[in-house]
Structure 1
Amino acid sequence: MENNKKTYYITVGSGQISQLSTASAWDFKIEATDEEIVQLREYFDQVYSSDFQGFLRSHTPYVQYHYDRENDAIDDTNMKIYRMIYELGDEEAKEHIRTNQLMSKINEQE
């Protein structure tokens, strides 16, 4: 089976996935198949959807952050995103995730 991996540049904050390193600032460089990119895009879409639901919920000020399911969904999905970036990323991406102690949080979810 062919590998068919391509290089992508990921910006986590905006959920941007690009094959052009010069298109905009990026956070991580990964090598991924089309199927892996589809999965990563779905995770970014989930974060956006949960974030929008959280925005709507934010108009109910008596619900604290740690009791907010939308925030829990965003946190869980972000860990899935960082796990994928760690698995698919170059050494610099892996080092960034290790240095910022995201691996321990990712491993807690398993």
Structure 2
Amino acid sequence: MDKRRYYVSIQSKCIMYNQGDAAYELEIDATEEEVEKLTELFNQWEDAEEKTFFRAQIPIIPYHHDSENDVYDYLLKEIYKAIYQMGTDQTKSHISSMNLQMGSENE
């Protein structure tokens, strides 16, 4: 499959075909299949985000002792790993500078 340039916004959880459609943070070169996988990660991350909302209403549970937050954090790192693998040189450089401790895939 042919790769094409996409524009990704982590904040709004979207992947755009056209650079001017909305604000974006990162650029990737990906196949349609890769974009579908990234979209699924965004969907899972959004579900995890909703689950963390309820935990946030109970302040006696520390963030680091909550499995919903673990899932949220894991999915966010998986999103950054996927974006790094498909990213342009500038995107890879930016993600590397974030020191996300994602393992050897971002080095």
Whether the TM-score (by the shorter chain) exceeds 0.5 is yes
Q: Distance in 1 between matches of 2:62 and 2:11?
A: 23
Q: How far apart are residue 65 of structure 1 and its match?
A: 0.4
> Which aligned pairs between 1:30-109 and structure 2 lie closer than 5 A?
30-102=28-100, 105-107=101-103
**Identical pairs, percent:** 32
Return the letter of the residue paired with 2:81.
R
Which position in structure 2 is the counterpart of 1:7? 5
Q: How far apart are residue 60 of structure 1 and its match?
A: 2.1
| TM-score, scaled to structure 1 | 0.88
Q: Secondary structure at the match of 2:54?
A: helix
Q: Distance in 1 between matches of 2:16 and 2:51?
A: 26
Which position in structure 2 is the counterpart of 1:19? 17
Where does structure 2 lack aligned partners over 5 or more consecutive residues?
A: none
Equivalenced residue count is 105
| TM-score, scaled to structure 2 | 0.90
Deviation sequence 1:17-63 (CA, Å, 0-9, x none): 10110011111110111111111011111111011011122222211
Where does structure 1 lack aligned partners over 5 or more consecutive residues?
A: none
Q: Distance in 2 between matches of 1:31 and 1:42?
A: 17
